[in-house]
Amino acid sequence: MNKKSSFSDSELVEAIGEKDMLEQAIVQLYEKHGTIARSFIMGKGGTEQDADDIFQETVVSFIDTVKKGKFRQESGIGTFLISISKNLWYNEIRRRQRAGNREKLYVADFEPADAVIDDVIGKRELNSMLGQMLNELGGSCKKILELFYYENLSMKEIVSHMHYENEQVVRNKKYKCLQQLTDKMKQNPEAAQQINELIQK
Partner 1 sequence: MKQPISELLIDYMDEKLSPAEKSELEQLIQHDKEVAGDLGYLKLAIETVRLKAISGKVTAVRQSLNESKKDQSSKEHVGIRYMYKTGLRIAAIFVILIGSAILYKYITVSDQSVYRNQFIPFELSNMRGSEDRNPESEAYRNKNWSLVIDLYGREKVKSDKSSFLAAMAELQLTHYAEAEMLFQNLVNNTSENNAFQEDAEYYCALAYLMDHQENKAIGMLNKIKADTSHRYYPLASRISGIDLKIIEMKK
Under the rule (CB under 8 A), what is the footprint of partner 1? 22-23, 26-27, 30-31, 52, 56, 59-60, 63-64, 67, 127, 130-131, 133-135, 142, 145-146, 148-151, 174-175, 178-179, 181-182, 185-186, 195-196, 198-199
Cα–Cα distance list, 53 to 1, 92, 101, 137, 157 (Å): 30, 11, 18, 24, 34
Minimum distance from residue 32 beta carbon to partner 1 (Å) = 12
Minimum distance from residue 186 beta carbon to partner 1 (Å) = 6
Minimum distance from residue 45 beta carbon to partner 1 (Å) = 22
Based on CB atoms, which residue is closest to partner 1, 107 or 198? 198
Phi and psi at residue 74, in whole multiples of 5°?
-60, -45
* Cα(118)–Cα(127) distance, integer angstroms: 14
Based on CB atoms, which residue is closest to partner 1, 110 or 143? 143
Decide: 158 and 172 in contact? Cβ < 8 Å.
Answer: no
Minimum distance from residue 51 beta carbon to partner 1 (Å) = 12
Spatial neighbors of 120 by CB under 8 A, at least 6 apart, are 61, 65, 84, 87, 88
Based on CB atoms, which residue is closest to partner 1, 8 or 179? 179
What percent helix, strand, coil does the chain show, rounded to 5?
75, 0, 25
Minimum distance from residue 67 beta carbon to partner 1 (Å) = 8
Based on CB atoms, which residue is closest to partner 1, 26 or 88? 26
Based on CB atoms, which residue is closest to partner 1, 138 or 149? 149
Decide: helix, strand or coil at residue 101: coil
